[in-house]
């Protein structure tokens, strides 16, 4: 798998000037036309809307870091391996070629999520 990574800086010198934008390539050779913050902003919105642990004033608010980590890991496992996306008509894992089937039921091994140090039998 080829990894490309670039960042985009946005900022202004003062309130009267327009916002300036700069792009910087950190890894690989990404297409400059596709260097954008919209992808990560959409991902952040999906996490905030679907994972109640990021909403402070609810019963699901995480007081322990381990609970938050487990919740986020389960969210991303479901998002990438179980949930069929309308635009892809399949899961992102299937689109990337990681798997050829839906991982439902016992397809995802979540035993190490709550305690990453705990070893389990393969």
44 is a domain residue = no
pLDDT per residue over 80-92, tens digit each? 888 888 999 999 9
User: What does pTM read for this prediction?
Assistant: 0.62
- Contact, 45 vs 51, CB < 8 A? no
Which residues are within 8 A (CB) of 3 and not within 5 positions of it... i.e. 6 or more apart? 27, 28
pLDDT per residue over 30-62, tens digit each? 887 777 778 778 888 888 888 877 776 777 777
- List the one residue out of 91, 96, 72 whose CA is nearest residue 81: 91
Residue 18's CB is within 10 A of a number of other CB atoms, namely: 7
Q: Which domain range does residue 75 map to?
A: 62-122
What is the tally of structural domains in the chain?
1
């Amino acid at each position: 798998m080829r990894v490309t990574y670039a960042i985009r800086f946005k900022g202004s010198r003062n309130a009267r000037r327009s916002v300036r934008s700069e792009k910087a390539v950190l890894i690989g050779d990404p297409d400059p036309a596709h260097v954008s913050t919209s992808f990560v902003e959409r991902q952040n919105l999906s996490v905030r809307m679907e994972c109640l642990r990021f909403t402070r004033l609810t019963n699901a608010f995480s007081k322990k870091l381990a609970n938050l980590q487990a919740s986020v890991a389960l969210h991303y496992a479901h998002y990438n391996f179980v949930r069929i996306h309308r635009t892809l008509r399949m899961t992102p894992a299937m689109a990337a070629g990681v798997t050829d089937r839906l991982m439902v039921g016992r397809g995802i091994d979540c035993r190490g999520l709550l305690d990453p140090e705990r070893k389990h039998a393969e």
